Structure 1
Amino acid sequence: MVKINDKNNVARIMDDCKIHMEESEKLLEPEKSRNVQMCIEFNDLCYSVLYNGQKTEKAILHNVTGYFEWRKVTVIIGPSGAGKTTLLKIISGKRLTDIKGSITINGVERNKGTFRKQVCYVPQQLALLPFLTTRETLYIAARLKLDINQNEEAICSIVNDIAETLSLSNCLDTLANKLSGGEQKRLSIGVEIIAKPSILLLDEPTSGLDSVASYQLVNTLHNMSRANCTVICAIHQPSSQIISLFDDIMVLSQGRSMYCGPKSEILKTYNVAGFTCPNFYNIAEFVLEVITEQRGGDLENLYKICRDECEKFKLHSRHNKNKLNSSIDSKQKCETNDTSTLINNIIQEKSTWQQQKILFLRALIYIKRDTVLTKIRFMTHIGVALILGIVFYNFGDNAEKVNSNIACLFFFLLFLFFVNAERTVQTFPIEAAVFLKEHLNNWYSLRSYYSVKIITDLVMQILCTSAFVFISYYMTGQPMEYDRILKTWSICLLIMMLGQTIGIIAGTTFGTELGMFLISATHIPLLLFAGFFTKIEEMSPYLQPLCVISYFRYAFEGIMQAIYLDRPKLKCLEIYCHLRSPSKILSMTDMPTVPFYVIPIILSSWILCLHAVHYIVLHWKIYYAKK
């Protein structure tokens, strides 16, 4: 009986191991076709931009016609300004407005929503979170892009496999901001190819890489194409060794297509137009010399011949595709043609909660590593609180030093607002660039990202505000009553959140330099309407409405009420102290004008409105990135 049970246990363990291995192999097997077969055709694409004060129109693409075949690697070459990046953005769906022409997928007009789920675009500009290691960056990408139910071992195996493929194994534990330019480029590509997209578009993937790394990368892309992926690369001038790995080639010059078809046929086509390539000459260099008019000849005639040849190549490609489809049984054919259904089966979109859990893990790692965000920020608040405590030591209960104590309370607000506004305006633009890249490549939704951003920011806001308020409040001798401490803490927390939100909006909208200037230029004048420098009633009637909309005014009044409202008389060592009575202190500053409970509501409303503005700004950034 025991032997039978042992045999059953062994059999069960073997079955579990077999299931585990099958799950891992299913993810790791490079040759297994898990993608939709997609052939892209585009006809007469035109795109123009306005400049010189929106008066002059400049054509970026002019009647560009071509195609990208399934399971092939296509290289787009051309001089700077030829329109390579613009074409990639239009094909990928990152640019959707002001475009003329047609784009079809497998002979059917492109469905933008469905298509974007299967396409991945890797831009030329790098966008990586600097305080995540290579391993963590790849791991988070795998968690966001792969099936949420995959076990930890399988995901780690994928990370190691991608790192080995892109020669990143020796820097898995290196922070992204410590990587070389080439390593950062390979990492930015690695996070996108984890999910093996059906269509992969890369803008200058070999820039910043040496010849060996470039060849390895293009060879990896070549292998991906054979595993059921359409790969398109825009490369300025590939070497002979690299160009040998490409199947098709497209040539752009001044927004026009000067060839699109098999690499093996380009020299024949150019020869028909009167351009003969010398023996043992780099094809890319020869083509660039022709289209930049370094070799004599009729480029208009070349353009017409190439356009006619492109149509022939497209017809031949469709004929081959039809023959391939006819050899597939009816069930497979149905699955292949029903692209929308297949995509829904392959890509299981994660819920908002699942995305939030992964993004929250990344945010915690980032907070722990970012010394400016955590350690320096926290220590700065403690350091300034100690300085305030030393300068204004025990001023809070001294009737002779009321004016100085009021200045101390106003400084609370100034410090918390401007320090946090300027910090975020310097750090958030990097994070915003990463968000745009990841969101446009369908990693997660804006709602998931923004909710996690607010929650993780709130943790640091509470810690820093608490450290600052409790130290400075105690050392400056303010009344040690729980309700007054809580009221002061709440006002300081709200003004800190306001400053951080203003900084995020300025950094997202205007960038670091202009954002820093605008925060100072707009908010320093706004301090004049806070009621500290002059009474509100003494201002011109035309300026008094500005006090109503100034959040500094409500924050200042809130902290004054928290300290002085309904409080016993202050200590006075002199025979007579005019400001010994807290009611006189408040009347001197024309307070209170509103009940205290209204002030947190007003400040919270400002914060909600500003977050709504920032949410709209991010939507606008997404729209502008597509445009």
Structure 2
Amino acid sequence: MLETDGNNKNDVTAVQMFDNGIELSELKNLMGITEKKQRSQLHIEFNDLSYSVYHNGKEAKKTILRNVTGHLESGKVTVIIGPSGAGKTTLLKIISGERWLNVDGTITINGVERNRGTFRKQMCYVPQQFALLPFLTTRETLYIAARLKLDIKRNEQVARMIVNEIAESLGLSNCLDTLANKLSGGERKRLSIGVEMITSPSVFLLDEPTSGLDSAASNQLINVLHNMARTNCTVVCAIHQPSSQMISQFDNIMVLDRGRCMYCGPKSDILNVYESAGFTCPRFYNIAEFVLEVITEQRDGDLENLYKICCSEYKKSKDDKYLKNKINLSTTSEQNFKKDDVLTSVNSTKQTLSTWQQQKILFLRALICIKRDSTMTMLRFAAHVTVALLLGVVFYNFGDDAKKVNSNIACLFFLLLFLFFANSMPAVQMFPTEAFLQEHLNNWYSLRAYYSVKILTDLPMQILCASSFMFISYYMTGQLMESNRILQTWSICVLITILGQTVGILTGSAFNTEIGIFLIPALSIPLLLFAGFFLKIGEISMYLQPLSTISFFRYAFEGMMQAIYGFNRPNLYCSEIYCYHHSSNAILSMMDMPTVSFYVILMILGCWIFCLHVIVYTVLCWKIYYARK
């Protein structure tokens, strides 16, 4: 685990698994933080970007962006300002490649049409609301991000230095050992930016990076972004209403109003352009406030004329400035920006880990969260043990009593119901979809690595809970103590537990928590009617019998019945002269069982689990696709 020593907050004991032995200068060169590392210069230009969304099918159309044209310069910090609903966030998502459907217009990188997949390896996008895992400390969050995103050669010193440098630059040194859910809003915001700064991206897009920060923290953050820009990073911030001091620290300004670009260029020229359109800014007035007052029609003037002048001025300045930038780009560091290799010069520190390497790091992170979330873990285990003891008390020694067969069968059916619902309902919240989408879209890891680790790390707890529940209830209810029957009963219990959790994951991934919690009982209870307990299989109408074949409860219940009463079980104890349920064969015949062999039942339940996981994986793929839409 990534636990820290209280006497030395810079000591990360969990990373002692990695080797030491690299020079400090090599670490600095590798990180590119202390020594200024020159990135590939990426000049972004977009022309006539338009984006619309449809409500109620295609009946109502809402236009978000209207023929937006502009550019983002390498080595400069650009601020995008505008009122709420102007399209700032949408523009950032389109530039980043997260949103690409229903988008018209062109985006070029250094004069070459953008390759979305390749470009995403060179950029990072920090949304306004960045979900952090609540049970990781600041240090652990930064460290694991570094392990996932950088080629640090399995060295502890590199990871430790990255954490300290990022924390110091963002003012997080005093809260390195604080859990994310204990951080203030401003600290969470800075941490979310810090995890994406680790890779030193060539393009850094931030949505409302200063929201929740005080003036001192905001200025410190802007200074950090300026340092990044000096190393040829293209830094873009969308800010709702920056202060005078903050606006003075930006190089370029882009103004959006109702999806239109009302200015794009150097900060020093914006007042002259607006003045030429009849809008004069008072002396010592906040430029951002003045611009927002103009475009929100709080100042008298012709906005359409301003829009035309801004477009005209942009076209005049674009040709000269872009030609100069293009000449400079063509002469630096032998960079030939051809169509096939515009974005191939990825930062030397950034790497693509194999699935196995990603799984190891994500497994470490999952173990930390499981250990910290001890309350939920203990509640799960305690609930299984408590209900097992309750079952044992209520159905004490019913298992071998011929007079109590019906009650024992009810006990077996209740056992399956508890295992299914006790594991399906909590699993609705098992996948933090927002955090996963943010990290995946910023190239932290693959869906395959994340999904496999998420499932496998919870598997031991599932087996432990199901086993403790089954063994306690099996012994106390007086079932036949034969090893093969115990093993068969245990296998059915584990499979129905895993199946229940998978159903919960599916509903939680496809829907929100409220809908998922409703759908699990709403969809599962009808399947219980065809399980063979309330209604025998042979008594079901012919046109409804196919429904019994798709009920996994039927196979789980029949498998449990066969494990308890099948396989030539000796006659049950009966205190009376004659008992109809004295023979186990008579019990199975009464229940119209068996219909399939026990081992076929295991395969059917296994196929159900596999198919549901395939559906969940497909849903997550669709979530990724929809997030980019």
On whether the aligned pair clears a TM of 0.5, the verdict is yes
* Residues 1:454 and 2:458 aligned together: no
Preserved contact between residue 152 and residue 349 of structure 2 (Cα < 8 Å): no
How far apart are the structure 1 equivalents of 2:347 and 2:278?
50
1:28 and 1:597 mapped to 2: Cα distance?
56
C-alpha contact (below 8 Å) 2:149/2:351 kept by paired residues? no
For residue 581 of structure 2, what is the amino acid of its counterpart?
A: L
Residue 284 of structure 2 is aligned to residue 284 of structure 1: no
**2:136 paired with 1:135:** no
Q: CA deviation at 1:20?
A: 1.3
Equivalent position to 1:366, from 366, 369, 394: 369
Task: Give yes or no for contact 1:120–1:200 (8 Å, CA) kept in 2.
Answer: yes
What is the Cα-based RMSD across aligned positions, in Å?
Answer: 1.8
The 1:345–1:173 alpha-carbon spacing in structure 2 relative to 1, beyond 3 Å, is: closer
Q: Evaluate the alpha carbon distance shift between residue 132 and residue 346 of structure 1 in structure 2; reply closer, same or farther with a 3 A threshold.
A: closer
1:300 aligns with 2:301: no
Partners of 1:114 and 1:129 lie apart in 2 by 28
Displacement after TM superposition at 1:538 (Å): 1.2
Alignment of 1:462-501 (within 5 A): 462-501=463-502
1:336 Cα deviation after fit? 10
Higher percent of residues as helix: 1
**Deviation digits for residues 19-68 of structure 1, max 9, x if unmatched?**
51122111344342252210100000011011144311111100000000
Unaligned runs of 5+ residues in structure 1 are 1-15
Q: Is contact 1:336-1:342 (8 Å) kept? A: no
Residue pair 1:36, 1:342 contacting (<8 A) in 2 also: yes
Alignment of 1:22-421 (within 5 A): 22-30=25-33, 31-325=35-329, 328=332, 332-334=334-336, 338-343=341-346, 347-371=350-374, 373-421=376-424
Between the aligned partners of 2:56 and 2:609, the Cα distance in structure 1 is 38
Gaps of at least 5 residues in structure 2 are 1-18
Q: Distance in 1 between matches of 2:71 and 2:573?
A: 85
CA distance in 2, matches of 1:433, 1:461: 25
- 2-structure distance, mates of 1:83, 1:326: 33
Partner of 2:16: none
| Displacement after TM superposition at 1:426 (Å) | 2.9
Deviation of the 1:344 alpha carbon: 7.7
- Return the alpha-carbon distance in structure 2 between the equivalents of residues 64 and 17 of structure 1: 51
Alpha-carbon displacement from aligned partner over 1:248-297 (angstroms, at most 9, x marks no partner): 11111110000011111111110001000111111111111100101011
Task: Give the partner amino acid of 2:608.
Answer: W
Question: Any idea what SS the aligned residue of 1:339 has?
Answer: coil
Look up the equivalent residue of 1:258 and give its one-letter code.
M
| 1:172-220 Cα deviation digits (max 9, x unpaired) | 1121112122111111111111111111111111112222222222221
User: Over residues 367-419 of structure 1, what are the superposed CA-to-partner deviations in whole Å (9 max), with x where a residue is unaligned?
Assistant: 11123542221221112111111211111111121111111111111111111
TM-score for both structures, normalised by structure 2 = 0.94
Q: TM-score, normalised by structure 1?
A: 0.94
In 2, Cα distance between equivalents of 1:457 and 1:539: 38
SS in 2 for 1:82: coil
Partner residue of 1:580 out of 570, 579, 582: 582
Deviates more, 1:205-214 or 1:605-614: 205-214
Q: Are positions 1:544 and 2:545 aligned together?
A: yes
Q: What number of residue pairs does the alignment pair up?
A: 608
CA distance in 1 between partners of 2:403 and 2:56 (Å): 63
Give the whole-Å Cα distance in 1 for the aligned partners of 2:220 and 2:304.
37
Pick closer, same or farther for the CA change 1:345–1:175 going to 2, 3 Å: closer
Q: 2 CA distance for matches of 1:312 and 1:500?
A: 62
Match of 1:439 in 2: 440
Contact persistence 2:150–2:349 (CA under 8 A): no
Say if 1:461 and 1:105 are closer, same or farther in 2 by CA, change over 3 A.
same
SS at match of 1:396: coil
- Report Cα offsets for 1:417-438 as digits up to 9, x if no partner: 111111011342xx22111111
2:562 aligned residue: 561
CA distance in 1, matches of 2:320, 2:424: 60
2:336 & 2:298 partners in 1: Cα distance? Answer: 51
Asked whether the 8 Å contact 2:151–2:349 carries over to 1, the reply is: no
CA-CA distance at 1:17 after TM superposition:
10
SS at match of 1:58: strand
